[in-house]
């Protein structure tokens, strides 16, 4: 199959969402706000500078095992979103609420051991996928599937996925996820890695457009331009 034409103009938007499930301030309630912000900026950029290819690279949209605790996490999400909507909270999170959320996350990790509950995840990514599809970004990829299929008894324990999400205005010629080695890493509980997509003229290195979305680990960096961080 022939590669797709090489895009001449590319718009790239990148956000670090900081939706970390453990001790992230208002991480459940902020999902909808982050989603709406990203969708607004994507539509605005495309109006101001139309492109042949638009790409959104998101980091820290973490998925983690919820197991039988999913209803509890959903209620926390609704409660935080309600308070944020009324303007009753924001900024520094009360310590007691942080402890309650951490306890719920720990309970979710424990209940994920119940047979059949391993693949039940708390995952904010689908909210972005649903919101960005209608504004011209129908294609998406993440490392969520690899994490969901990972066995519970892995050593060291794997608690979260990569947190990465790529979205595009069209499908790439090739894409994939390459996990980093977790051996002897202080960040071993997260399935960090490199999420990539290649657009146009594969096999011709000088004519290739390759997008990489990655979490920082040791001295690794994110080699793509950003509009907002």
The pLDDT score that the predictor gives to residue 212 is 57
Q: Which of 87, 110, 89, 109 is nearest to 98 (CA)?
A: 89
Q: What pLDDT is stored for residue 131 in this prediction?
A: 94
Q: In this model, does residue 159 exceed pLDDT 70? A: yes
Structure tokens at 170: 């069209």
pTM as predicted? 0.80
Q: Are strands 209-214 and 193-199 parallel, antiparallel or unpaired?
A: antiparallel
Q: Quick check: helix, strand or coil at residue 122?
A: strand
Please report, for residues 95, 142, 220, the alpha-carbon distance to residue 178 in angstroms, rounded to integers and kept in the order given.
37, 11, 14
Instruction: Read off the pLDDT of residues 181-218 as tens digits, 9 standing for 90 and up.
Output: 777 777 777 788 888 888 876 433 344 455 556 654 43
The rounded distance, in Å, linking the Cα atoms of 60 and 184 is: 22
């Amino acid at each position: 199959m022939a590669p797709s034409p090489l895009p001449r103009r590319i718009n790239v938007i990148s956000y670090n969402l900081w939706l970390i499930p453990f001790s992230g301030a208002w991480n459940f309630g902020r999902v909808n706000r982050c989603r709406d912000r990203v969708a607004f900026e994507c539509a605005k950029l495309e109006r101001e500078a139309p492109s042949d290819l638009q790409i959104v690279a998101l980091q820290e949209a973490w998925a983690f095992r919820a197991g039988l605790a999913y209803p509890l996490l959903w209620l926390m999400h609704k409660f935080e979103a309600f308070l944020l909507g009324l303007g009753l909270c924001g900024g520094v999170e009360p310590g007691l609420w942080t402890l309650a959320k951490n306890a719920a996350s720990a309970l979710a990790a424990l209940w994920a051991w119940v047979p059949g509950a391993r693949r039940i995840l708390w995952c904010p990514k689908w909210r972005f996928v649903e919101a960005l599809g209608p504004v011209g970004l129908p294609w998406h990829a993440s490392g969520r599937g690899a994490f969901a299929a990972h066995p519970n008894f892995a050593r060291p324990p794997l608690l979260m996925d990569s947190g990465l999400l790529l979205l595009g205005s069209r499908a790439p010629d090739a894409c994939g996820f390459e996990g980093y080695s977790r051996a002897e890493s202080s960040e071993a509980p997260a399935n960090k890695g490199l999420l990539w997509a290649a657009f146009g003229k594969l096999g011709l290195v000088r004519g290739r457009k390759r997008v990489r979305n990655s979490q920082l680990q040791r001295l690794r960096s994110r080699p793509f331009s950003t509009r907002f961080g």
